[in-house]
Amino acid sequence: MARVFVTRRLPGDAVERLRAAGHEVDVWTEPLAPPRETLLDRLADADALLCMLTDVVDAELLDAAPRLHAIANYAVGSDNIDLEAARARGIPVGVTPGVLTDATADLAFALILAIARRLPEGEAAVRGGEWKTWGPDWLLGRDVHDATLGIVGRGRIGSAVARRGEGFGMTVLHHGRSSGLSLDELLAQADFVSLHVPLTPETRHLIDAAALARMRSTAYLINTARGGVVDQEALAAALHAGAIAGAALDVTDPEPLPPDHPLLDAPNLIVLPHLGSATHATRAAMADLAVDNVLAALDGRPMPHPAT
């Protein structure tokens, strides 16, 4: 019997599958993430860790977990985990790819529509009693149909967003590592720039002040990838200056974003609390993939969904 520490309650019956396999499961049930001290303490005698994207798994944490021989990340990415340190200790790391593609793509396109048509402002106006001020030029937004959508990183999610854009009659451009336009060309041509790249040393602050300056003043930035892909200080400056028309973010750096963070003072901005995969079916499917990874590793088999 192995001991598995799970850093949040999971939807579906994934945790019961671990118990049914004969393992002891320790689930952190508090509403907030386990503090660093708790992680260090709970991992001291754990054989496997099922963690969230917000749990930092670094060399110090791994050194405090001498029995650990499996890490399953409840996310498609693994930038919260020191993969090199895990490999050096022979600890496999798994992720949950594929199942969140369409849910995240749906949200990305929802953000495109929301920022273009000023939906949060309209909803706030109704609740604030401002509807009586209606006039032909009130709360005018931008057309999404016939606009140009620039996809940065056309993997699974980027391709799914592209299909949605084509369904709306958009012209779709893309920039990838080995195909499509250069990033500079895409930024100069797109009415909506949607980010779908992993967070790596090469993509950190990929969208910086220089990149934002290349965008049209009427263009919008959409980020459902990772917060660190965007230089948030530069984005705030661009929004305040009117250098771009607006931005809609489902991811920030850090997460959660403090309510007094300077970025939140910027105009024409939508920020969501990382809801890309937040549907009942998707989150349950992610839990199943994470548990599949744990069970395989504890059984001495390769994880079916390893981090790369």
Provide the pLDDT for residue 174.
97
50-83 b/e (C-beta count within 10 Å ≥ 16 → b): bbbbbbebeeebbeebeebbbbbbbbbbbbbbbe
Non-local CB neighbours of 72 within 8 Å, separated by 6+ positions: 48, 49, 50, 51, 93, 94, 95, 290, 291, 293, 294, 297, 303
**Is the sign of the CA dihedral 262, 263, 268, 273 positive or negative?**
negative
Bin 178: left if φ > 0, else alpha if -120 < ψ < 50, else beta: alpha
Provide the pLDDT for residue 51.
98
Residue numbers annotated as active site: 226, 255, 274
- Residue-range domains of the chain with CATH: 3-97+280-298 (3.40.50.720), 101-271 (3.40.50.720)
pTM for this model (two decimals): 0.91
Provide the pLDDT for residue 132.
84
Provide the pLDDT for residue 48.
98
Provide the pLDDT for residue 1.
87
Sheet holding 220-223, edge to edge: 171-175, 148-152, 192-195, 220-223, 246-249, 269-271
HEC string for the chain: CCEEEECCCCCCCHHHHHHHCCCEEEECCCCCCCCHHHHHHHHHHCCEEEECCCCCECHHHHHCCCCCCCEEECCCCCCCECHHHHHHCCCCEECCCCCCHHHHHHHHHHHHHHHHCCHHHHHHHHHCCCHHHCCCCCCCCCCCCCCEEEEECCCHHHHHHHHHHHHCCCEEEEECCCCECCHHHHHHHCCEEEECCCCCCCCCCCECHHHHHHCCCCCEEEECCCHHHECHHHHHHHHHHCCCCEEEECCCCCCCCCCCCHHHHCCCEEECCCCCCCCHHHHHHHHHHHHHHHHHHHCCCCCCCECC
Provide the pLDDT for residue 133.
79
Provide the pLDDT for residue 134.
83
Question: Per residue of the chain (308 residues), what is the pLDDT tens digit?
Answer: 899 999 999 999 999 999 999 999 999 999 889 999 999 999 999 999 999 999 999 999 999 999 999 999 999 999 999 999 999 999 999 999 999 999 999 999 999 999 999 999 999 999 999 998 789 999 999 999 999 999 999 999 999 999 999 999 999 999 998 889 999 999 999 999 999 999 999 999 999 999 999 999 999 999 999 999 999 999 999 999 999 999 999 999 999 999 999 999 999 999 999 999 999 999 999 999 999 999 999 999 999 999 98
